[in-house]
Structure 1
Amino acid sequence: MKKYSKAIKYIIIIIVLTMGIIIVNSLKNNDNRVVIYSAAEDEVNEAMIRELKNKFPKYDIVLEFMSSGNIATKLAAEKTNTSIDIVYDLEYGSIGLVSDYLENLEYDESKYNSEFITNNEKYVPVALSSNAIVINKKELEKKGLEIPKSYSDLLKPEYKNLIAMPNPTVSGTGYIFLKSLVNAMGEDEAYKYFDKLTNNVLEYTSSGLVPVSLLERGEIAIAMGPTSVAARSITNGYDFDITWYKEGAPYTYYVMSVVKDRLAKPPVKEVYEYIEKELNEKVNKECAIESVYKNSDYKIPNYPDNIQFSDMSNYTSSEKERLLNKWKY
């Protein structure tokens, strides 16, 4: 009886292992599956997946949200042995960290503004992102506080726990703020500034979109976040001020890339080409995203005119990695 019992156990183990191998192989060999990791906001991701499923009903298209910094970290760790096929809305400064694992891409450069085109063939620009200090005036009025007029004002003790900023280690938006102040103040002074600012920060958030969400919920009064997101909040009825200080508005652009060797898979190639040639510009317009295209024929409601941009020089992957290694919060 014991012999039969052992034999049954071995048979069950073999069946389980066999089934596991079959499942893993079926996932690997799912020729119709396309996996996209996107750092874009919910509205953009929802529009993207809706349009992709309509366009390619026979493909199993999966779109996962992850912050830009975490996408880069995941891809750097997994290299080409990853489930990701297409990366969307990756912050430009992260490209150098993962470029060895990305395809060389061909596309029509003539439709893009020239400042977004370089000799790097690993990406296609998809969106511009300027950032701002966004103020919930009603929350400050409730507390009898004045609107801060400078980065120095943000250090005043009355703003304790009223500020949120994206964490630079996981958010491209957060890094943009850090880099702009490094350029404006000098590296040592910038890190001293953040040492002091941290006393007033309620949260260094895991995504660039969260500070404005906290502002909408009244949990903070001052958000450091994307200008276009703040403009949409105003359009939706929130009484916010969008401003930037004498150092200027931090900015960067976001890109799309394809993991190396994935263009050999026809569904990935078709989905990438559709996003690059048609869908990205359509979603930019639908979701009021700052455009990377020449001759854009739309304007974001409540988006400020004549933005004074900050100095974002020396915006390289190696510089980003070096500066983030010094970030303590």
Structure 2
Amino acid sequence: MKPSNRLRHLLAAALTSLSCAAVAADQLTVYTALEPEDLKKYADRFNADHPDIKINWVRDSTGVITARLLAEKNNPKADAVWGLAATSLKLLQQQDMLEAYAPKGLDKLNPRYVDNQQQPQWIGMDAWMAAICFNTVEAQKHQLPIPASWQDLTKPVYRGHVVMPHPASSGTGYLDVSAWLQTFGEEQGWAYMDGLHQNIKSYTHSGSKPCKMAATGEAPIGISFAYRGAKEKSAGAPLELIFPSEGLGWEMEAAAIIKGSQRLAAAKTLLDWAASEKANRLYNEGYAIVAMPGIARPVEHFPAEPEKLLIDNDFDWAAESRERILAEWQKRYEGKAEAQ
């Protein structure tokens, strides 16, 4: 090879190598428990603003993603989390697994939806809340009255007609269990779940599945969350959404950077976008409560003032008590869990 050709060849190889390195630097591995349709929508709109950042998504239910992150503590695979329960992020925080970062526009978010440390390690996106999906057609077949409260679901008339999420695999399931324990007190909370268990057909490994089952008539009653119920009802399912009188358990979808990420600049860009007004308006397309005040507009089939229905949720207690609560729950009720 002539010297000039060799020089050009080496220069081209070097440029190719640099180009590949640049592409790799702008790839993020992001873990999420977002609903699949939300994930596609969020990813498309983020990529429209930041086409230079390629996201490799890893999606599963809340419990699975949380367990995976904890298992990878000493060798993290994720760069960031976008759309995971705040109690899960608090659990990671306790294990010193999150990177402190105050995204642009942080001061515009409701402090209730932001980590309260001076250097926050996570930000909330939106709140999802419990609801009962009640199939009116199936209920009529079985002569089931419409429940108005959580306690109503322990009545013998509902035996074998209720499905709810498994709290070890589903964030919705865990928010239900922790909310009942907070609302009724631990002793009465477990007594309530003992009664409810008598009426449970199965515990699903997805928070949305009980409502989907109610929508298709596989079960008359699904304990799920309002977003899924509203979506199924809007699609024509014969559902009534019931918001029990004792108050609703709720959770925040939240975002954070995993400590040790080698792509910190791109991860910060993602967090900036997740905290933005544009992102909050996007969250409001499905969720009636979002982190940025003044953004939320009413969502079809949701109650008019949803925040008034939420319990005073102690997220720190829920995170710290998670392992103990799940062990007790599984000891009592695992026999009705659906096969994985």
TM-score, length-normalised on structure 1? 0.83
Amino acid at match of 1:166: P
Shift of 1:164: 1.4
Q: Is the 8 A contact 2:288 2:296 kept in 1?
A: no
User: How big is each residue's C-alpha offset from its partner over 1:273-320, in whole Å with a ceiling of 9 and x where there is no partner?
Assistant: 333335532421344453121101522112112442234246432123
Structure 1 146/297 Cα, relative in aligned 2: closer, same or farther at 3 Å?
A: closer
User: Which structure 1 residue ranges, 4+ long, deviate > 4 Å from structure 2?
Assistant: none
Q: Is the 8 A contact 1:162 1:202 kept in 2?
A: yes
Corresponding residue number in structure 2 for 1:52:
46
Shift of 1:263: 6.5
Corresponding residue number in structure 2 for 1:218:
217
Shift of 1:46: 0.9
Corresponding residue number in structure 1 for 2:329:
327
Structure 1 314/33 Cα, relative in aligned 2: closer, same or farther at 3 Å?
A: closer
Corresponding residue number in structure 1 for 2:236:
237
Structure 1 149/272 Cα, relative in aligned 2: closer, same or farther at 3 Å?
A: closer
Distance 2:212 2:314 in 1: 30
Identity %: 25
Q: Is the 8 A contact 2:113 2:291 kept in 1?
A: yes
Q: Is the 8 A contact 1:228 1:290 kept in 2?
A: no
Corresponding residue number in structure 1 for 2:116:
119
Q: 2:100 aligns with which of 77, 101, 104?
A: 104
Distance 2:269 2:106 in 1: 19
User: How big is each residue's C-alpha offset from its partner over 1:36-80, in whole Å with a ceiling of 9 and x where there is no partner?
Assistant: 111111221010222233334444322222112222211111115
Corresponding residue number in structure 1 for 2:206:
207
User: How big is each residue's C-alpha offset from its partner over 1:237-278, in whole Å with a ceiling of 9 and x where there is no partner?
Assistant: 223222233321112212101111327543333333333335
Distance 1:88 1:164 in 2: 28
Residue 62 (1) aligns with residue 56 (2): yes
Distance 1:105 1:265 in 2: 10
Q: Is the 8 A contact 1:43 1:287 kept in 2?
A: no
- Which stretch shifts more, 129-138 or 52-61? 52-61
Corresponding residue number in structure 2 for 1:312:
313
Amino acid at match of 1:224: I
Distance 2:251 2:203 in 1: 19
Distance 2:313 2:280 in 1: 25
Amino acid at match of 1:213: K
TM-score, length-normalised on structure 2? 0.81
Q: Is the 8 A contact 1:92 1:254 kept in 2?
A: yes
Unaligned 5+ segments in structure 1 are 1-25
Corresponding residue number in structure 1 for 2:164:
165
Shift of 1:236: 2.1
Distance 1:40 1:78 in 2: 20
